[in-house]
Amino acid sequence: MIKKTLLFFVEEKSAKEVLDVLMQRIQDEYELREVLDYKIIDKKGKDDLRIYSKQLFSTNRIEGFRKLYSNPIAIVIYDNDNNKDCKQEKENWAKIINSKFAKVVTLNPNNKYPFPLYKQLPVVIRVACQELESFFLGDVKAVNQALGTKLNQEKGDHKDPDKAIKPSDTLSKNIIYRKGKHPQRIANHLEIEKEDIKNKSSSYKLLLTTIHILINYSGKFSR
């Protein structure tokens, strides 16, 4: 397996803290510390992340990433924040990134690399529908283990967390939930397996699947 670095760009500190826990657990569970690095850059909300994304993929910055990190892959993650169509929102963000480039290569010539290449830097866009907390609503077992609560997965928004309008409010109504300290604790109990994830949040499943695909990609990175 070639060494690679996952560069996460997120809109808030709590998302960074959750990803940090998940990535450390994945590194340890699959004995990947020698072949997988990661860095998480958090911004001050979606607008700040949007502005940063417009500036992010200049030729100079990409060259800088490639000098600093082994085979870097950029993953942009943000909350959907009540927008009805996750796919459309993701396309809108892709346009922000695409607008900086004259040419977008969607796949490597060997057709094995599953994600877009921008200026030869792979970029993945992922959406938490509607908030990061939808990941937690999708796995109330993890919430119960972390916080000593007794939530039921089959009740209310827990059954389909990605459709919850405000997952953080749903959590706060049912338990004492503090965004400043509880996300990290819950992340220690979320599933990190490669497949058969029981989490009810499709966006969480897709994020985990994406991470594992990128980790296990063994082809040659384009230059």
Domain boundary assignment for the chain: 4-216
Cβ atoms within 10 Å of 217's Cβ, excluding its own: 19
Instruction: Pick 143 or 103 by higher pLDDT.
Output: 143
The mean pLDDT of 102-121, rounded to a whole number, is 48
Per-range mean pLDDT, top range of 42-56, 78-92, 105-119, 165-179? 165-179
Q: What is the model's pTM?
A: 0.84
Assign 221 a pLDDT band (cuts: 50, 70, 90). low
The rounded percent of the chain whose pLDDT value lies above 90 is: 35
Of the two residues 126 and 183, the one the predictor is more confident about is: 183
Give pLDDT, residue 141.
95
Task: Please state whether 45 falls in left (phi above 0), alpha (psi between -120 and 50) or beta.
Answer: left
Give the Å distances, CA to CA, from 195 to 16, 22, 24, 177, 213: 23, 15, 18, 29, 11
In the predicted structure, residue 139 carries a pLDDT above the cut 50: yes
Say how far residue 130 (Cα) sits from the centre of its chain.
13
Give residue 189's pLDDT: 98
